[in-house]
Amino acid sequence: KEEDQTYGSILPVEKEANSCNDSCSLVLVESIPSDIIFGGNSTNHRSVYQAWLDLLNTASTNVNVASYYWSMTGEDIHVKDPSSKLGENILKEFEGLSSRNVPLFIATSFPSLAKYSKDLKNLKKKGAHIRTVNCSRLTKGVLHSKFWIVDMKHVYIGSANMDWRSLTQVKELGAMIYNCSCLATDLWKIFNAYWYLGGYNATIPVPWPVTYSTTFNQETPLELTLNGNLARVYFSSSPPVFCPKGRTDDLSAIVSIIDDAEKFVCVSVMDYFPTTRFSRTRKYWPAIDNALRRAVFERSVKVQLLVSCWSHTDPSMFLYLQSLYALNDPKANISLEVVKKIFIIPAVNHTSIPFSRVNHNKYMVTDKVAYIVGTSNWSADYFSRTAGVGLIINETSEDNHGKGQTVQGQLTAVFERDWNSKYAVNIEYSEHHQECTLGA
């Protein structure tokens, strides 16, 4: 097996500070698929590839990666395409960590989605410490998280898998947090929980040992300086059974953010289903759906929902979106813009690459909060059975702009760029699936 079978001792937990004196900085990073052009004056961010490369080049003490699966070479999926080069470059940098005496710890999902990938076997030969978390046995789900912790002070968290396609063929969004040991230490507690659950024949502790607990959550977020502005920040996690004392579960975080919005809620997510999707018997699950309806009816909040559409889209999704769209009634001061905006990435010359050309973003921004780069698609299973992480940021500045734009402002600009782009199209319900399939 591609894992360490050692069970018992786990990585030591650093003591959590009551306050954070770090001057943390956060920048958004994106992967924009080949041949996608937004225009010269549109919002533009650093690439995920360059951010990853720089992190690996500067790592000096340790690198910790939580990932769904690894597939960093074109050979993994028997595809020869020049766009796989970036993933192969990143893999070489990971392989080179051992020669610099930088320990690499990887927590990944079992069984692996990448059946033919040799990445983890090769990394283990280079000295990487690897544990696979059998969420299929533990929760009947998968480990879907995607984050890095480098030198216990830098963090990457985002929608991008450890997959070369996430660098060149899939639209991704993430955040790089620099020089922020207080946040890195808190996120590391989540990684450490995965590490524990990846031990031989591990079971979910009830309750979790106090060393995994946190004081940073929805009620008491961590207060720090972020990009020169005052901010209140915390990490949420799923499923609830993976949440030690003090950790806000991901669904509760999302619902509370929607309930707190006063003016607008903008959501970009690949899938939207108020149901279960991967259980034998499909069940109705209205938690987020009801929160959006409450926002519209009770507070006249403007809701914009940008969903993805590609050849693998389940057409039943559009029925649920149609139900939400039926709420739209300008005369009653109810504005819900939803299924008119479906993001389609044309295949162009990349039809030979499977499971690509899709907007894989998962984030929400309101007039108050940025829920940035959550790793869950929006259906019941991702919150009840699947391991994921969300980053919640409430940022203020004295002049409403601060030293540079707030994270909430930057994320709003990304959403508006995508919403108003030629790739976000208006589709009549009777034609949606055909249009999406052709576009993908």
Q: What is the reported pTM? A: 0.92
Identify the pLDDT of residue 375.
Answer: 77
Query: Please, what is the Cα angle at 301 between 297 and 307, to 5 degrees?
Result: 100
Of 4, 81, 144, 153, which is the active-site residue?
144
Which two three-digit tokens encode residue 194? 């995965």
State whether residue 103 is helix, strand or coil.
Answer: coil
Identify the pLDDT of residue 17.
Answer: 54
Q: Average pLDDT, stretch 330-338?
A: 68
Q: d(Cα 254, Cα 324) in Å, to the nearest integer?
A: 18
Strand pairing category for 342-343 and 302-308: parallel
Q: Tell me: pLDDT of 404 over 60.
A: no
For residue 239, whether the previous peptide bond is cis, meaning omega lies within 30 degrees of 0, is yes
Residues contacting 103, CB < 8 A, separation 6+: 61, 62, 63, 97, 127, 129
Q: State pLDDT tens for residues 114-140.
A: 888 999 999 999 999 999 999 999 999
Q: State pLDDT tens for residues 228-250.
A: 999 999 999 999 999 999 999 99
Of 146, 189, 341, 432, which is the active-site residue?
146
Q: Tell me: pLDDT of 398 over 60.
A: no
Q: Tell me: pLDDT of 1 over 90.
A: no
Q: State pLDDT tens for residues 10-64.
A: 455 554 555 688 999 999 999 999 989 997 778 889 999 999 999 999 999 999 9
Residue 5 or 94, more confident = 94
Q: Largest alpha-carbon pair distance within the chain?
A: 67
Q: Tell me: pLDDT of 3 over 50.
A: no
Identify the pLDDT of residue 372.
Answer: 87
Confidence of residue 6 (pLDDT cuts 50, 70, 90): very low
Q: Is 144 a catalytic residue?
A: yes
Identify the pLDDT of residue 334.
Answer: 72
Q: Average pLDDT, stretch 318-334?
A: 80
Confidence of residue 436 (pLDDT cuts 50, 70, 90): low
Q: Is 92 a catalytic residue?
A: no
The pLDDT > 70 percentage for the chain reads 89
Confidence of residue 402 (pLDDT cuts 50, 70, 90): very low
Residues contacting 37, CB < 8 A, separation 6+: none
Identify the pLDDT of residue 195.
Answer: 97
Q: Is 129 a catalytic residue?
A: no
Q: d(Cα 174, Cα 407) in Å, to the nearest integer?
A: 12
Mean of pLDDT over the chain: 89
Q: Average pLDDT, stretch 400-415?
A: 78
Confidence of residue 349 (pLDDT cuts 50, 70, 90): confident
Strand pairing category for 229-238 and 222-226: antiparallel
Q: Residue 194: what are its φ and ψ, rounded to 5°?
A: -60, -40
Q: Residue 165: what are its φ and ψ, rounded to 5°?
A: -65, -25
Of 151, 260, 271, 367, which is the active-site residue?
151
Identify the pLDDT of residue 118.
Answer: 94
Tokens 């450890």: give the residue.
162
Q: What secondary structure does DSSP assign to 310-353, as a single string?
A: -TT--TTHHHHHHHHHTT-BGGGTB-EE-TT-EE----TT-TTS
Which two three-digit tokens encode residue 282? 């499909």
Residue 413 or 351, more confident = 413
Q: Average pLDDT, stretch 80-85?
A: 93
Of 360, 381, 418, 432, which is the active-site residue?
360
Q: Are 386 and 144 in contact (CB under 8 A)?
A: yes
Identify the pLDDT of residue 16.
Answer: 55
Q: State pLDDT tens for residues 186-196.
A: 999 999 999 99
Q: Average pLDDT, stretch 207-215?
A: 96
Identify the pLDDT of residue 430.
Answer: 38
Q: Are 238 and 249 in contact (CB under 8 A)?
A: yes
Identify the pLDDT of residue 439.
Answer: 42
Which two three-digit tokens encode residue 153? 């002070």
Contacts 24+ apart (CB under 8 A), 121-128: 121/2, 122/91, 122/95, 123/70, 123/94, 123/95, 124/2, 126/95, 126/97, 126/98, 127/98, 127/103, 128/94, 128/97, 128/98, 128/104
Domains of the chain plus CATH, in order, are: 23-439 (3.30.870.10)
Q: Is 360 a catalytic residue?
A: yes
State whether residue 162 is helix, strand or coil.
Answer: strand
Residue 9 or 398, more confident = 398
Residue 236: count of CB within 10 angstroms of its CB = 26
Identify the pLDDT of residue 440.
Answer: 38
Q: State pLDDT tens for residues 375-395.
A: 789 999 999 999 999 999 999
Q: d(Cα 104, Cα 95) in Å, to the nearest integer?
A: 9
